[in-house]
Amino acid sequence: MARPRTRFPIGRWAVVAHDLLVIPVAWLGAYWLRFNLGPVPHVFLRQSVYLLPVVLAVQGLVFWNMGLYRGIWRFASVPDLLRIFKAIVAGTAGSALVLFLLARLVDVPRSAFVLDGLLLMVFLGGPRFFYRFLKDRNLYQPAEKKALIVGAGRAGEMLVRDLLRGGDVGYWPVAFVDDNPRRVGQEIHGVPVVADCDQLPDVAERLEIDIVFIAITEAKARTMRRLIELCERAGRPFRILPGLQNVVDGQVNIQELREVNIEDLLGREPVLLDWQEIAHGIGDKTVLVTGAGGSIGSELCRQIAKLGPRSLLLFERSEFNLYSIELELRRDYPNLFLLPILGDVGDGLLVDRVLGGHRPDVIFHAAAYKHVPLLEGQSRSAVVNNVLGTETLAAAADRFGCGIFLLISTDKAVNPSNVMGATKRAAEILCQEMNARSKTRFLTVRFGNVLGSAGSVIPLFKAQIASGGPVTVTHRDITRYFMTIPEACGLILQASVIGRGGEIFVLDMGEPVRISYLAEQLILLSGKRPGQDIEITYTGLRPGEKLYEELFYPDEALQPTGHAKIRQTSGTPVDTTDFSKQLNALRDLCSHANEETLAAALRDMISGERVCSQSSASG
């Protein structure tokens, strides 16, 4: 098969022609300089002309092979200058060697090679940078709107460079602010660093700034909140650059700027995971995810799909959610074996058929009802799905020899004050009880709220803001833990390969956040003012709601694991006989009892477990 011809832009042939023309100019000019700008003696002039074709051929080949024609004059830069220098050194040395072999350098001044190299540096580098100067001169014109850059580091430098070149973007950088005192007073591409970040409002006022660009890509959440508050005090619109990886990849430019979102304010340190270890535990395995179409379940599926499992089973009761995640995964991973399963984990026949037919190695049990106020009056549905459904799936995992069963729990399972939390605590106890008598490793991962999940507070606030308010918060002092969905799922996968069986893993959720602060920030980020454009109303705690959540019981001795963001506890001892009786009682009550009776039985089951464990500890 014939190789396709490489197209070479016509403009670059002009560059080649230019360089071939300056080679003889530099060679003959070197002789002229050698003889002090006077007449060149006839014998030397004749020899220089005689050897010129050899010099032209050698240096032309060297220039071509060393990539002088890969760059574009319009964007000539220091790397291009370095490439020219290397090519000139190699070309001059090559010429000297060939001329020595051909003519023993008779009537060739040795200094001619040094002078030739210096002239070539001027003749090759000068036109390139002059051409760039001519092209850039018209672009470096002040735009209509003045921009203030926060952060004079690498990202800020790249952004300013792009702003100076991009004459059609409408923003002209006039100053930096930076918290590093050594940078204050310096200039970057002619743009001064005028003050530290605390002076941002004053600088914006004094310089009549139109917009603020935040170019501190590695900022912690606390630092980002401070910068956003300073921008809000300045009363100017502001934009933020993307993450650090974009800076590493050299992708920082004006098009990458975006509006600040709530994740930037609540964002946490990037979590480093041992993907090699995770891939060893998940790769080439059959993996089942329940609740595969939910917020956590779907992200788990995405991350698992990247690890190359033998097959991925998607268990989901919502037809639309199952269709959506299957469509996405088939598009992104066409070679992955996917099996969508539409059904309920409480359906024993279906669960047995799936687990018996496919024998999953790992099960991630994310399916659960989780809406606290909604479940307060529907304890039967909560118990059937969250407790009995978990029992059905866990028993089948034991029966069919599943390797790992991981339950995804919640901080609401700690000292539960609501039906939802109580059912998740019961599910935790169930997994510990199963682990004590099964070859399957039963694990639990407990964490708080995730940003942007279905039914969570942030989408609700955004909808209320979009409709003009008011934004409803239950209590001024209510706090919650938050983390991003990808972070939570990555740590769940990490825990699955750390666990040996029976552990309850508690994810590091950082500091709790006031819900009223979330409401205020979301209103500000939407361009409105809290209390003026959008009201915040406090409605009182809802049924089953607590002011604050806990991640572990006081008597749960948390231990570190191999990952800094994951701690573990062995939980509390479980009286398997009593628990089995209580579980059977719940099952019987689900058949005929009313909601209040079932909720009371569930509370007694959970409170009895704590009393039992505390008595054992004291004895």
So which residues are the catalytic ones? 412
Q: Which two tokens stand for residue 573?
A: 């001892």
User: Is the Cβ–Cβ distance between 119 and 30 less than 8 Å?
Assistant: yes
User: Is the Cβ–Cβ distance between 173 and 147 less than 8 Å?
Assistant: yes
Q: From 395, 397, 389, 347, select the one nearest 369 (Cα to Cα).
A: 389
Residues near 553 by beta carbon (within 8 Å), at least 6 away in sequence: 414, 415, 572, 610
Residues near 462 by beta carbon (within 8 Å), at least 6 away in sequence: 522, 526
Regarding beta strands 311-316 and 536-538, do their DSSP bridges make them parallel or antiparallel, or are they unpaired? unpaired
Specify the amino acid at residue 380: R
Query: How far is 255 from 155, CA to CA, in rounded Å?
Result: 14
Specify the amino acid at residue 200: L
> Where would I find the H helices in 259-294?
262-266, 275-282
Handedness of CA 611, 612, 618, 619 (dihedral sign): positive
Query: How far is 409 from 292, CA to CA, in rounded Å?
Result: 15
Gap between the terminal Cα atoms of the chain: 84
Look at residue 209 and give its three-state secondary structure. coil
Angle between helices 275-282 and 485-498 (to 10 degrees): 70
Q: Cβ of 458: how many Cβ atoms within 10 Å? A: 21
Q: Which two tokens stand for residue 283?
A: 């790769």
Backbone φ and ψ for 148, nearest 5 degrees, come out as -110, 130
Query: How far is 501 from 301, CA to CA, in rounded Å?
Result: 23
User: Is the Cβ–Cβ distance between 475 and 441 less than 8 Å?
Assistant: no
Query: How far is 236 from 202, CA to CA, in rounded Å?
Result: 12
Q: From 298, 232, 302, 300, select the one nearest 265 (Cα to Cα).
A: 232
Q: From 237, 170, 175, select the one nearest 210 (Cα to Cα).
A: 237
Q: From 228, 217, 262, 233, select the one nearest 513 (Cα to Cα).
A: 262
Strands (E), 74-190: 145-150, 171-177, 187-188
Q: Which two tokens stand for residue 181?
A: 């005192």
Query: How far is 56 from 41, CA to CA, in rounded Å?
Result: 22
Name the CA radius of gyration of the chain, rounded: 35
User: Is the Cβ–Cβ distance between 387 and 375 less than 8 Å?
Assistant: no
Q: Cβ of 73: how many Cβ atoms within 10 Å? A: 19
Query: How far is 261 from 17, CA to CA, in rounded Å?
Result: 53
Burial class (CB in 10 A: 0-12, 13-18, 19+), 598: buried
